[in-house]
Amino acid sequence: MTDTVHADRVSALLAGVPTGLWIDGASRPSEAGAQFDVRDPATGEVLTTVADATVADATAALDSASAVGKAWATTAPRERSLILRRAWELVVERTEDFALLMTIEMGKTLAESRGEVAYGAEFLRWFSEEAVRIGGRTATAPSGNGRILVTKEPVGPCLAITPWNFPLAMGTRKIGPALAAGCTMIVKPAEDTPLTMLLLAQVFADAGLPAGVLSVLPTMSAPTVVASLMTDSRLRKVSFTGSTGVGKKLIEQSADQVLRTSMELGGNAPFIVFDDADIDAAVDGAMAAKMRNGGEACTAANRILVHNPVRERFTAALSARIAAGVVGPGYADGTTLGPLINARQRDSVASLVGEAVDAGARVHTGGAPVDGPGYFYAPTVIDDVPAGARILTEEIFGPVAVITGFDTEDEAIERANDTEYGLAAYFYTTSLDRALRVSSALESGMVGVNRGVISDPAAPFGGVKQSGLGSEGGSEGIEEYLNTKYIALTP
């Protein structure tokens, strides 16, 4: 694509994306009139500006969510289902628009963005199908003198706070089940990537969603805007995806109104390759688990642990694959690795790698930022990282594969579990016994056996330990938006 064709395509796309706050079914300016810039991380240039929500705007969104809450909760499940289904169809129809929008505001390649459109849209279809299957149960009281009736009810107005790394899917994973359950929702998208959620709000309106059921509030004042909503007794739930540090603050804040919470937090995924593994398949899996989304994924393989007898072979093969990566803007032909989200993230990756190298780690490929106006970092492989290096304990969130060796299965499991996180874990083996034994020994909410991608809208996504609370997706996902009510009946 030439630069002019790209620029024309971006202008035409941006002309159709609402850049106001989405409140009460329409785009409007912030009450204070303030706006903030959205930048292309491949160039650092401003793409557009969006309205910057204040506490008064947040109150207006909650007023509207509360006003329509009852009507939405009592809308026939089939009708809620059909609206979600129409929204799924419209997002899929507009795949190229959503894909380009994510690529220009977040940086990932167009191929990755198209993958996210399919994945993110699927939560809408999955939960359109769950909307009509909300059940309950009845039982005869053991004493015989009563009947127990258990019903499920929507929790009420919800707040979703989403990160920048998957601008569409992290929203639909919350909006889908909330709307299916009969809840209204306010979304506070990440500062770096508000455009995708704003376009989604427009698509939901086109799909026939009543005004007020879904609001989107971009803001540069997340702490105050979110705190104002969380201390308002009308809000009943907060669902957060982001860092563990912010998640902990939100858990504390949720005490004020005893809010239901779902917390999808950070990860430090181990990726273990045993000596009985199919090494070529393990290299493919490591490429996916490490390089997907440029390494900016909570499920990214943060620590690659390789059985010493196969370590040299695995490291050489993975290094060759990673070194072949083509760095550039996500919208340029041939690019396989886009920029990091911003300068802060690039500098954070550079400092993790720099410290490890200073402490004796060996660089197989990459190992430095790439010059240019955007926020690029070279695809990198390092090994011989000393135990205790920060790069082994913190999320890297970049295209850096960190390899260490191990001698026994027990050692691999102990090292894999030696982290405060517990989101995803991966391992490769051809032994069924080992597959079952290691799956149950790993302290994580999700385990990939002989595969490097585990996310699936039909499966419960979530972590243990400091990686979070609750599940998103699967039949479990809608439960996060339902309260259980017990009704006691006489015989």
Pick between residue 10 and residue 340 the one whose CB is nearest to ligand NAD.
340
Question: Which residue, 249 or 451, has its beta carbon nearer to ligand NAD?
Answer: 249
Examine residue 298 and tell whether it contacts ligand NAD (CB under 6 A).
yes
Q: Contact between 163 and ligand NAD (CB under 6 A)?
A: yes
Among 43, 66, 221, 243, binds ligand NAD (CB under 6 A): 243
Active-site position among 105, 116, 264, 480: 264
Which of 318, 423, 446, 454 contacts ligand NAD by CB under 6 A?
423
Q: Minimal CA–CA distance to 379: which of 401, 357, 352, 350?
A: 401
Q: Are 404 and 381 in contact (CB under 8 A)?
A: no
Chain residues 374-403 in contact with ligand NAD, contact rule CB under 6 A: 395
Residue 164 as a binder of ligand NAD (CB under 6 A): the answer is yes
Residue 161 found at the interface with ligand NAD (CB under 6 A): yes
Residue nearer to ligand NAD on the CB measure, 63 or 394: 394
User: Is 457 one of the binding residues for ligand NAD (CB under 6 A)?
Assistant: no
Q: Does 313 bind ligand NAD (CB under 6 A)?
A: no
User: Which residue of 87, 104, 246, 305 would you call a contact of ligand NAD, by CB under 6 A?
Assistant: 246
Torsion of CA 372, 374, 380, 386, to 10 degrees: 100
Is 264 marked active-site?
yes
Q: Is 241 in the site for ligand NAD (CB under 6 A)?
A: yes
- C-beta closer to ligand NAD: residue 363 or 469: 469
Q: Is 265 in the site for ligand NAD (CB under 6 A)?
A: yes
Q: What separation in angstroms does the CA of 274 have from each of 407, 409, 465?
A: 10, 8, 25
| Region binding ligand NAD by CB under 6 A among candidate stretches 184-192, 312-320, 407-415, 473-481 | 184-192
Residue 184 or 466 having the CB closest to ligand NAD: 466
How many other CB atoms are there within 10 angstroms of residue 363's CB atom?
A: 17
Quick check: 222 binds ligand NAD (CB under 6 A)?
A: yes
Q: Which is nearer to ligand NAD, 118 or 323 (CB)?
A: 118
The contact pattern for ligand NAD, residues 266-285, with x = CB under 6 A and - = no contact, is xx------------------
Whole-number minimum distance, CB 255 to ligand NAD, in Å?
Answer: 14
Which residue's CB is nearer to ligand NAD, number 40 or number 383? Answer: 40
What's the min distance (Å) between Cβ of 421 and ligand NAD? 9
242 binds ligand NAD (CB under 6 A): yes
Q: Give me the residue label for tokens 């795949």.
A: 95
| Interface residue with ligand NAD, options 6, 9, 85, 249 (CB under 6 A) | 249
Residue 165 binds to ligand NAD (criterion: CB under 6 A) = yes
Interface contacts to ligand NAD, rule CB under 6 A? 161-165, 170, 188, 190-191, 222-223, 226, 241-243, 246, 249, 264-267, 298, 395, 423, 463, 468
Known catalytic residues are: 264
